[in-house]
A and B are shown apart, each in its own frame.
Chain A
């Protein structure tokens, strides 16, 4: 149960009343107890032992913060109706429940409440049973009497328990009372009790044999309850997932306690949610950075056009038109690069072919020759080996690396392009001697629009595209930084 301190008054009054009434019924039995024979005492001790053992093999069905418990004890009450005097049954019951439940880590108030409601229930059962004239177990009328008596016991149990739970959980009484396991519980225990009593009367030595079907029943019942719990846990997960997808509440599933399969599912779903959240966050960041990046050319165009005279001279008009066209080109490049970046991450968009590594490197060198203005040195040492990759994309990645090196390093310094063969991958390197990147920004330079300095050319998507191309190939891109000296940007693709 939840903390007693938070219970509503209705629940507290009901619990106190049940404990009190249960105790009073026991007090009324005291004259009978005083007249017990040694046999009665032995029967009572036997009942206590049986009930205590039965209580240890309880099955629990979680219901919200509560647990509805089921045990074999009802079968013992059923047999007891036939076999022992009422005072022995009531006393054995309460002592057995107390012994069996006090060893459980339950709140004392819960044990006292359980003992109270069982006492009330068994007294109702005894009254109903005696209304049939307390028939013998050999008489089928006795079975009917036991069925009615134990139904009464069940109704009392269900009503009191559901009353307390509905008061604590502040839920409608019937939604708690109609937990569908009650009828099975009643029928099962009734049959076992009657069979046990019949065995005891016919051949007491055969009673231990009853343990075999009992254990099997226990196992089957436990399995069924677990499947019910598992189903409920799955339904709760589904409800939570529905809430998350509709944007309400938290962004993670609650791990169901004790449900191994449902827990595993929840953990893996939470992992997926975390990855999706990361992807959405990166996308949000990308959109924010892109809009920020586009503001500069738009600002320039707007400002210069705004200041254009109504009748501008030819020089001013040409300057403004050139500038606006140049800024529009910058915007077009940003949009094109964004488009490239968006397609780049998808491995399915690759057209992998066998490419000669030397030819690839030579192609990159040729395409960047003008830009590099004689600063690029190419090391060829692969002697005709092949790499399986998307030729166009890999070329684009290497061109971006060379461009990045040329644009960010002082004029006249060398830029080196080389390919090396490693056991599991090809590694392409572009080394420069431009002082390296600021320490700590080695990973950040591969993020979209990370520019390091806002005065550099380019728009900050080049290295993000390199990284995207590497990942699409199942490889990666990185940077060996030598602050004060230079940096070696590299891209690895699996062989």
Chain B
């Protein structure tokens, strides 16, 4: 799959990208929210899925999601965050995320989430 990884913590982005590539995915890493919105809102966006951190330096990950949904993007999203609160999970669920993984998580969980997406194509 063509994965856009939005994660500001370089060391986290590094192992996640490494793990995803080992899982035969193509990965592009962006460290801030606004450039991610730009990349996902493009009409010829090539990303099959966005793996999104919530605590980004410029705008919140949920705001990234809200904006791309407003642009009409239905790209599947998987949240990876240290925020485990119910309010965030509810809000993410309202914005139609496919999965919500709380850090720290086994990389196999993320790979399994991606595998599920390929099994059930998004509408």
* Chain A residues engaging chain B, CB cutoff 8 angstroms: 292, 295-296, 298-300, 302-304, 306-307, 323, 327, 453-455
Contacts and interface: CB of A to CB of B under 8 A. Distances in A.
26 contacts: A292-B82, A292-B84, A295-B102, A295-B103, A296-B12, A298-B103, A298-B104, A299-B12, A299-B82, A299-B104, A299-B105, A300-B9, A300-B11, A302-B104, A302-B106, A303-B15, A303-B16, A303-B107, A304-B14, A306-B19, A307-B15, A307-B19, A307-B22, A454-B9, A454-B55, A454-B57
A299 B103 contact: yes
A323 B15 CA distance: 11
A486 B115 CA distance: 49
A191 B102 CA distance: 82
A369 to B, nearest CB: 29
B69 interface: no
Interface string B1-26: 00000001101101110110010000
B104 A303 contact: yes
B11 A306 contact: no
A211 to B, nearest CB: 71
Q: Is the interface of B mostly helix, strand, loop or mixed?
A: loop
Contacts, number: 52
A306 B14 CA distance: 13
B19 to A, nearest CB: 5
Given A298-B103, A306-B107, 9 more contacts: A295-B102, A296-B103, A300-B9, A303-B12, A303-B104, A303-B107, A307-B22, A453-B57, A454-B56
B15 A304 contact: yes
B66 interface: no
Interface of B: 8-9, 11-12, 14-16, 18-19, 22, 55-57, 82-84, 102-107
Which residue among A302, A303, A306, A454 has the maximum number of chain B CB atoms within 10 Å of its CB? A303
Contacts of A298: 103-104
Contact of B11 (A327, A453, A455): A327
Contacts of A300: 9, 11-12, 15
A89 B22 CA distance: 106
Contact of B82 (A295, A323, A455): A295
B82 A307 contact: no
Nearest to B80: A299
Contacts of A454: 8-9, 55-57
Contacts of B83: 292
A455 B104 contact: no
